[in-house]
Amino acid sequence: MYVCDSSAPTFADDLVAALVATRATLAFDAIGGGKLVGQILGAMETAINATATSYNRYGSDTHKQAYIYGGLDRGPTEFHRTFGMSWGIGGWLLTPFLGRLGLEGMVRLRQRVVDELTTTFASHYTDEVSLGGVLAPAAIAGYARQATGEKYLIRPQLG
């Protein structure tokens, strides 16, 4: 597994190194706004070209794809086309994806989540709040930051 910290001064180099190692050409972005999607696609192109045997003025022929599935940054999605002409940026939502899988596929994925609930799909929460507690000024100040690693769990059954 590779973890690249976008706030680190070595982020761009770390990302390219991870992409060279994994040969990944597909990314999912929860941030949405800002420059991250473009940085990822550009790093994919750089990683692909690290082992290229010929030059193509239009960039590599390898398709690079990024899906935005969140909007933690509510600003515009910005990118500079440094990744050739074979690329795509799209939106991705779980519900339509599950609908395309059909019942058997949904059951299989649901079972995988159940089986891996404490490993692959484990979640950690900064705080748990009741449905009424969601409106408390202190709770709002906490979850409105939408900070990485600071999820809040709403538990209606709490008093």
Q: What is the pLDDT of residues 13-41, one digit of tens each?
A: 999 999 999 999 999 998 999 999 999 99
* The predicted structure's pLDDT at residue 63: 97
Which structural domain, as residue segments, surrounds residue 43? 11-91
Q: Are residues 85 and 108 part of one domain? A: no
Residue 4: inside a domain: no
Residue 97: inside a domain: no
Which of 91, 115, 131 is the C-terminal boundary of a domain? 91
The structural domain count of the chain equals: 2
Which of 37, 67, 91 is the C-terminal boundary of a domain? 91
78 — alpha (psi -120 to 50), left (phi > 0) or beta? beta
Instruction: Note the pTM of the prediction, 2 decimals.
Output: 0.74
pLDDT band at residue 147 under the 50/70/90 scheme:
confident
Residue 2: inside a domain: no
